[in-house]
Amino acid sequence: MLLLGEDVLILSHQHPDGDTLGSAFGLCFALQKCGKRARIECSDPIADRYDYLTDHYTEESFVPQMIVAVDIADTQLFGEKLWPYRDQVDLCIDHHPSNTHYARRVLLEADSAATAEVIYEVIKAMGVEFDPVMASAVYTGIATDTGCFRYTNVTARTHRIAADLYEKGAMAGMINRVMFETKSLSRIRMEQLVLSTMEYHFDNRCALIVVTLDAIEQTGITDSELDGISAIPRQIEGVQAGITLREKEGGYKISLRTSDNISATAVCSALGGGGHARAAGCFIAGNLEEAKGAILEALRPELEGK
Amino acid sequence: MLLLGEDVLILSHQHPDGDTLGSAFGLCFALQKCGKRARIECSDPIADRYDYLTDHYTEESFVPQMIVAVDIADTQLFGEKLWPYRDQVDLCIDHHPSNTHYARRVLLEADSAATAEVIYEVIKAMGVEFDPVMASAVYTGIATDTGCFRYTNVTARTHRIAADLYEKGAMAGMINRVMFETKSLSRIRMEQLVLSTMEYHFDNRCALIVVTLDAIEQTGITDSELDGISAIPRQIEGVQAGITLREKEGGYKISLRTSDNISATAVCSALGGGGHARAAGCFIAGNLEEAKGAILEALRPELEGK
């Protein structure tokens, strides 16, 4: 394999998710399988639910000859521990169109649903035969970055790779259960709390929930779990704009999710924020009633005009 | 295609789900595309969320020369309107191992994740080229019967067919959003009500929720939505037994979902019920405290012994 040398250090991004970890472990196991030394580093600890990967991982000690970053679009995502490597990355394998090209070489496939899709092709090109653990690693990246094949980033190729990974023994049933059918106690408690704050506006076309500082403290919920919470209002039938107001010091952080006909960016930009077409955010200073009033007013022309 | 004649009446089961409908519409559109007359009948109305299929359907009037049942394992599932056809089915296309072979011929593939997987092969064998609507119909059956590729019934073939349906123009993004990212107002209100009843037992290895008659009336939730509600307790991290107590006249209907190491059937059989290894049910006469006490006692040896 022309791209990869000996003694490879693989970097995963901070707050690691299934794609950066699945990509890193898949690549690491493949390199080790063809006799190279490889090691993974990450600024944050790896959650227990990835035990089926970490249990098969042996930390190898060596001075890296090559540094590969996987699924890291920007050095801002390196985190504290990896920060010293930010100028030393030989190769970045990624699927984010926003990749800042900080690495010497970049293998960027922006039409891949996950970096793990690119890793799949890399492992094939290396001529390494997939074993069940490698297949499970790559499957993890693909499944988690596509919401288990639900999102619009999925292509025919995504499914074709998944088919091959099933045949190579990927532990897909277990992975799907752990990643998609399991909620933490904190998450379930937070769901209860936010559902009791649910309000409907504009003939039920807008739903709104509130996450208080008190609720965050009480449940101990993590930021990535809160991201899932913000998706709840928009998922309600008929709701075109889902708002989450998250209490911060001095005001509220707004997360807005919209359906196809409403620009979340436009609404949030008008309030000094920004984001994507269907998911954007902003900060509104003031108390809860003021923040609610401001975001609902900003939404009014979008919802009443349509 | 040897199996299918002219003027075909296609039957879907009562309370139709995505697989029986996706299979029926896929087959119907394919038959019509190769110049045959075809019509679908079902004892219950088809929900609005399937508009992307029904909008393309033209009801054809004819005396059927052939009757095909899709995804109907047993005549008990015909419902009132289809009941007169129960002895006249020429062909049943299905994937349920429990199929009672009531039809003259049965095309049963028990290792298919969905009947729509079998329909995919039938359409291929008919030599009909898939168009986007036919692909969407078959995709609907596969996606809904696998929980969008999450369940353990998924195989490499399931993903390979999905890849092909993407290439044939299946409207997968829209279908996934409608089927998996949308909750009814009733469902979200019921979630709020049941989460407030959540109790943990046996060191958080058992979680329990209560669905009252009052909550059902207040939310107007349907039976199929309640099925999703019953899955909630077991989805909590660390929970090995999830219990839902549903208030009925004179007692409580228990739904028990368990993890691999606990037999739901054994626990529910001891209380006069039954079911599958990981999902079973029973009825306990008495008030709420009595019903809770009985199911928790029946579970005790399973949870304390393990």
CB contact under 8 A, B159 and A182: no
- Cα dihedral B209, B213, B218, B224, rounded to 10, equals 70
Low-confidence ranges of chain A (pLDDT < 50): 1-2
Of A167, A176, A191, the CB nearest to B156: A167
- Give dist(CA A286, CA A284) in Å, integer: 6
The C-alpha of A152 sits at a distance from chain B's nearest C-alpha, in angstroms, of 5
Contacts of B185 in chain A (CB under 8 A): 204, 236-238
Strands B279-285, B251-258: pairing is: antiparallel
Task: Identify the DSSP state of B28.
Answer: H
CB contact under 8 A, A166 and B173: no
Map residue A109 onto helix, strand or coil.
Answer: coil
Kindly state whether B204 is in contact with chain A, defined as any CB-CB distance less than 8 angstroms: yes
Contacts of A236 in chain B (CB under 8 A): 182-185, 188
- Give dist(CA A145, CA A95) in Å, integer: 11
Separation in Å, CA A274 to CA A209, A240, A259, A289, B24: 20, 18, 16, 22, 45
The C-alpha of B202 sits at a distance from chain A's nearest C-alpha, in angstroms, of 15
CB contact under 8 A, B163 and A160: yes
B120 with B134: CB under 8 angstroms?
no
Q: For residue B98, give every residue at least 6 positions away whose Cβ sits within 8 Å of its Cβ, in sequence order, or none.
A: B73, B74
Arch. (CATH architecture) of B185-304: Roll (3.10)
Measured between CA atoms, the residue of chain B closest to residue A167 is: B156
The domain locations on chain A are 8-180, 186-304
- Give dist(CA B151, CA B112) in Å, integer: 12
Measured between CA atoms, the residue of chain A closest to residue B259 is: A177
Half-sphere exposure of A104 (CA within 13 A, CB side): 11
Q: Which of A239, A281, A231 is nearest to A256 (CA)?
A: A281
CB contact under 8 A, B156 and A172: no
Which of B130, B150, B222, B258 best probes binding to A when mutated, by most A CB atoms within 10 angstroms?
B150
CB contact under 8 A, A156 and B163: yes
The three state secondary structure string of B113-179 is CCHHHHHHHHHHHHCCCCCHHHHHHHHHHHHHHCCCCCCCCCCHHHHHHHHHHHHCCCCHHHHHHHH
pLDDT of residue A101: 97
ipTM of the complex as predicted? 0.89
Write out the two tokens for A109: 């496939």
Q: Which of B29, B92, B94 is nearest to B55 (CA)?
A: B29
Task: Identify the DSSP state of B48.
Answer: G
Of B151, B157, B167, the CB nearest to A156: B167
A208 with A198: CB under 8 angstroms?
yes
Which of A176, A191, A210 best probes binding to B when mutated, by most B CB atoms within 10 angstroms?
A176
CB contact under 8 A, A235 and B160: no
C-alpha angle A165-A146-A130 in degrees, rounded to nearest 5: 15
Half-sphere exposure of A189 (CA within 13 A, CB side): 16
pLDDT of residue A263: 92
The CATH homologous superfamily to which domain A8-180 belongs is inorganic pyrophosphatase (n-terminal core) (3.90.1640.10)
For A127-184, where are the alpha helices, taking DSSP H only? 132-145, 156-167, 172-180
Write out the two tokens for B97: 């191992």
Going edge to edge, which strands form the sheet with A91-94? Answer: A38-42, A8-12, A66-70, A91-94, A105-108
Map residue A262 onto helix, strand or coil.
Answer: coil
Map residue B38 onto helix, strand or coil.
Answer: strand
Which of B120, B149, B200 best probes binding to A when mutated, by most A CB atoms within 10 angstroms?
B149
- Give dist(CA B117, CA B139) in Å, integer: 9
pLDDT of residue A1: 47
pLDDT of residue A267: 95
- Give dist(CA A204, CA A44) in Å, integer: 41
- Give dist(CA A13, CA A299) in Å, integer: 35
Arch. (CATH architecture) of A186-304: Roll (3.10)
Identify the bridge partners of residue A207 per DSSP, sorted by sequence position.
A200, A242
CB contact under 8 A, B156 and A166: yes
Low-confidence ranges of chain B (pLDDT < 70): 1-4, 305-306
Identify the bridge partners of residue A12 per DSSP, sorted by sequence position.
A42
